[in-house]
A = this chain, B = another copy of it.
Amino acid sequence: MKRKSFKTMSCPIARGLDRVGEWWSILILRDAFAGLKRFDEFEESLGIAPNMLTRRLKALTASGLLEKRRYSLHPPRYEYVLTARGRDFRPVLTTLMAWGNKHFAPEGKSVRLIHVPTGREADPILVDRVSGLPIAAPEFRMAAGPAANERTRRRYEGAEDAR
């Protein structure tokens, strides 16, 4: 991509993006969460060219989001499964889905979040784990942490938060 190198990025968002920033990567993760595992399953679900799928799968594996596992000896067969790091990505997908549903679904929802035991649709919101308070501005805001570099520090110190 020829972007600023990982080394100089002190922002966790930028670092995360560095692993899943390509368009297909997030869609592959979405499918992995849906239970897809095999190369041809991804290929069919995504409508992606096989060489691209290979590339993205390799990158995701190298970043530690997926693990390539042999599930059959002969013939040799492999499957791609989410690692703990990959599974931790689920909230990002969930909020992205909620946002997409709210703003870009003129003809209704095509994917919903379901509470399996009751079958009812869920509406995901963010809360603070300890206080239980809903996370909303301006009560909650981002701020530079101990490992922030100069640029990051400046970004969060001067201006007040956007509402």
A-side residues, CB < 8 A to B, are 1, 3-4, 10-19, 21, 23, 26-27, 30-37, 41, 45, 47, 64, 81-82, 85, 87-105, 107-117, 122-131, 133, 135, 137-149, 151-152, 154-156, 158-163
Contact = CB atoms under 8 A, between A and B. Distances in A.
Contacts of A37: 159
Nearest to A158: B35
Contacts of A12: 96-101, 104-105, 109-111
Given A117-B139, A163-B87, A110 B36 contact: no
Given A12-B110, A13-B27, A122-B129, 6 more contacts: A10-B110, A85-B103, A91-B95, A109-B145, A113-B141, A115-B133
A41 B158 CA distance: 11
19 contacts: A11-B30, A12-B111, A14-B100, A33-B161, A34-B159, A35-B162, A45-B154, A88-B103, A92-B96, A94-B95, A94-B126, A107-B147, A109-B147, A110-B147, A111-B156, A115-B140, A116-B139, A122-B131, A125-B127
